[in-house]
């Protein structure tokens, strides 16, 4: 909330008799509980979009914890060429679905490659979040075509060194 309150105070206030700039319409981030809880409080009309890279990385971590082998997750390679797709590839196809029909097909393909006991992970964890992650939905958000938060996160170590909760944005 500190960051959002500071943004509201410093960036979304009227200046020189002009109206205040509009608040953000989309905030793109990972699935941190604090971020998800803070956005509706700070910017009630803002859409939350989850980073596609973080989503697929979370899926891969779940696959590893469920005992899938590296080749099952990453696919198989021969002479540095991929010869079979892995769960990571199917997860990316799912996330990059550009139409609702394609989404249905790609979700089914991913589920078909999972063990029966692991299918609920996709259906209970990711299907409810599809409107925040899957490209056929996020493509229409006013997000300048962004689908992941990696560039912003690369600034995190630098920002952490120069800021803290005791300082104003100025």
DSSP letter for 123, please. Answer: I
Grade residue 90 by pLDDT with cuts at 50, 70 and 90.
very high
Q: Are 97 and 106 in contact (CB under 8 A)?
A: yes
Contacts of 19 (CB under 8 A, 6+ apart): none
Tell me the average pLDDT across 23-39.
Answer: 89
Query: What pLDDT score does 20 carry?
Result: 80
- Interval 94-109 mean pLDDT: 98
pLDDT in tens, 21-30: 888 899 888 8
Provide the 10 A C-beta neighbour count for residue 148: 19
How far apart CA 20 and CA 166 sit, in angstroms, is 25
The whole-angstrom separation of Cα 121 and Cα 111 is 10
Better-predicted residue by pLDDT, 161 or 139:
139
Instruction: Please determine, for residue 170, whether its predicted confidence score (pLDDT) is greater than 70.
Output: no
More confident residue, 80 or 166: 80
Q: How confident is the model at residue 17 (pLDDT cuts 50, 70, 90)?
A: confident
Q: Is the pLDDT of residue 156 over 70?
A: no
Burial call 102-111: b when 16+ CB within 10 Å, e when fewer: bbeebbeebb
Query: According to the per-residue pLDDT averaged within each range, which of 13-22, 40-49, 159-168 is highest?
Result: 40-49
Q: In sequence order, what E strands does the chain have?
A: 26-29, 47-50, 76-78, 81-84
Residue 166 pLDDT > 80: no
d(CA 125, CA 138): 18
Query: Residue 142: pLDDT band by 50, 70, 90 thresholds?
Result: confident
Direct distance between the N- and C-terminal alpha carbons of the chain, in angstroms, rounded to an integer:
17
């Amino acid at each position: 909330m500190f960051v959002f309150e500071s943004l509201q105070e410093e960036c979304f206030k009227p200046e020189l008799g002009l109206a205040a700039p509009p608040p953000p319409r989309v905030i793109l981030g990972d699935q941190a509980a604090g971020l998800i809880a803070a956005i509706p409080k700070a910017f009630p009309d803002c859409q939350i979009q989850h980073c596609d890279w973080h989503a697929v990385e979370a899926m891969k971590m779940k696959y590893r914890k469920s005992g899938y082998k590296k080749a099952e997750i990453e696919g198989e390679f021969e002479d540095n060429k991929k010869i079979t797709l892995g769960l990571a590839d199917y997860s990316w196809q799912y996330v990059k679905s550009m139409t609702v029909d394609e989404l249905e097909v790609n979700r089914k393909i991913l589920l078909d490659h999972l063990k029966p006991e692991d299918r609920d992970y996709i259906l209970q964890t990711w299907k409810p979040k599809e409107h925040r992650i899957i490209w056929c939905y996020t493509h229409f958000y006013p997000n300048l075509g962004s689908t992941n938060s990696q560039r912003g996160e690369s600034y995190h170590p630098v920002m952490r060194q120069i800021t803290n909760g005791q300082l104003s944005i100025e």
